[in-house]
Amino acid sequence: MADMLVEDKLLTLDELLVMSQSQHVEIIDGELIEMGGAGILHALIGGNIFRLLDLYLQAHDIGVAMGDGAIFLMNSPAARLKDPFSPDVAFLRHENVPANWDAEQPHPGVPNLAVEIVLPGNDASSIQYKRMTYLEKGSEQVWLVYPRLHEIHVYMPDDVMIYRGESAIDASSLFPGIAPLSLSAIFKLPAWAAPKG
């Protein structure tokens, strides 16, 4: 009975699409969350990650990198959405694209890689819920990027790696032959965007 009450409150795909035209929203565990403006730091770091992945993908046609705004339905039925997410950066393998899918619609499944940039004010339990859901639904990796700490936590179904300092991410299981991605390149900012004090 309780499950039926929860299901009755879930949005449909059409309702989500209408809402997402005027605001950035996600649904986390059935709850509609308005995603406020993230700021320039968020966009700069997301852009750095996107460019590093896209550079590789231009030379190796195994899939596409996408920036913020792509919606993944996470295998939820379109009639009642429980967990559609919009990662800050995503990688989608070509073979993960369903036949006859309309690319103007959200992807019905999961990204192969989901990158979430975690900033102060983000709800920690929501971030961890999303991380677990991505992996449970079939994402190969989830990267949680912490700009203030200059850390990236890379989650896989059976492992986690924490990168900090001068280290570089070994992303070769997703991108065969890619050079390690240095944290200095990921966190590189113009002088005017560097943290103050």
Q: How far apart are CA 5 and CA 73, in angstroms?
A: 21
Cβ-contact 27, 71 below 8 angstroms: no
The answer to whether 173 touches 180, Cβ cutoff 8 Å, is: no
DSSP H or E run through 159: strand 159-164
Question: CA–CA separation, 191 vs 174, rounded Å?
Answer: 32
User: Tens digits of per-residue pLDDT, 35-67?
Assistant: 555 578 889 999 999 999 999 999 999 999 999
* CATH topology for the 2-193 domain: tt1808, chain A (3.90.1570)
Taking alpha carbons only, the member of 62, 85, 184 closest to residue 142 is 85
Q: How many CB atoms lie within 10 A of CB 113?
A: 25
Tens-binned pLDDT, residue by residue, of the chain (197 aa)? 333 333 445 666 666 555 555 455 566 666 666 655 557 888 999 999 999 999 999 999 999 999 988 889 888 776 677 778 899 999 999 999 999 999 988 899 999 999 999 988 888 898 999 999 999 999 999 999 999 999 999 999 999 999 999 999 999 999 999 999 999 999 999 988 876 65
Map out the domains of the chain as residue ranges. 2-193
Sorted by sequence, the CB contacts under 8 Å of residue 152 that are 6+ apart come out as 143, 144, 145, 146, 162, 163, 164, 169, 183, 186
